Amino acid sequence: MIVLGIDPGTATTGYSLLEANGRGLIPLEFDLIETKKSFTHAERLSMIYDHVREIIRSGEPDVMAIEKVFFAANAKTAIAVGQAQGVMFLAAADFKLPIVEYAPGTIKKVVSGNGRSDKKQMQQALRSIFGASIRSQAKKKTHFDNAADALAVAYCHVKMTYHAP
């Protein structure tokens, strides 16, 4: 089974493809979809939609696991990220790909054992799960946190659904 993990955003969206099989967990890919600041919001959404469709087409995942949008302080950001999440849902629907959402605290609890882990603790937990080389596997070094978060979302889905290693 292949899980497409998504950490949604409008400027930077993290994504990962994680394979769970009888031999364990294999991170096939994790990277970023980065939109240009000069783009309008609609152009950014279109770019995200196109990229997610291509990731689904080429990676052939069995499910999309996505982090739920949660912003208490900034409604404008929450709306924009929610719109980005909407085009990701549309891309998944184009391929009849099932979608599962996870709250940030759930992802943190499953990956690190602590629902309030910070970025550094989450990355340490991911390195202990997948090996110290995961940062070097990321294609782009900027905003690595987003790609790592997407890998955490995919891992959370596997653990919550299949209780894999």
Please report, for the domain that includes residue 126, its CATH number.
3.30.420.10
pTM of the full structure:
0.91
Q: Under 8 Å CB-to-CB from 18, ≥6 apart: which residues?
A: 2, 3, 5, 25, 26, 27, 28, 151, 154, 155, 158
Among this protein's residues, is 67 annotated catalytic?
A: yes
Among this protein's residues, is 60 annotated catalytic?
A: no
Catalytic residue among 19, 29, 34, 67: 67
Number of domains in the chain: 1
Q: Kindly calculate the radius of gyration of the chain based on its CA atoms and give it in whole angstroms.
A: 15
Q: pLDDT tens for residues 95-147? A: 999 999 999 999 999 999 999 998 889 988 998 998 865 655 555 555 678 99
Domain extent, residue 136, equals 2-161
Binding residues for Mg(2+): 7, 67
Binding residues: 7, 67
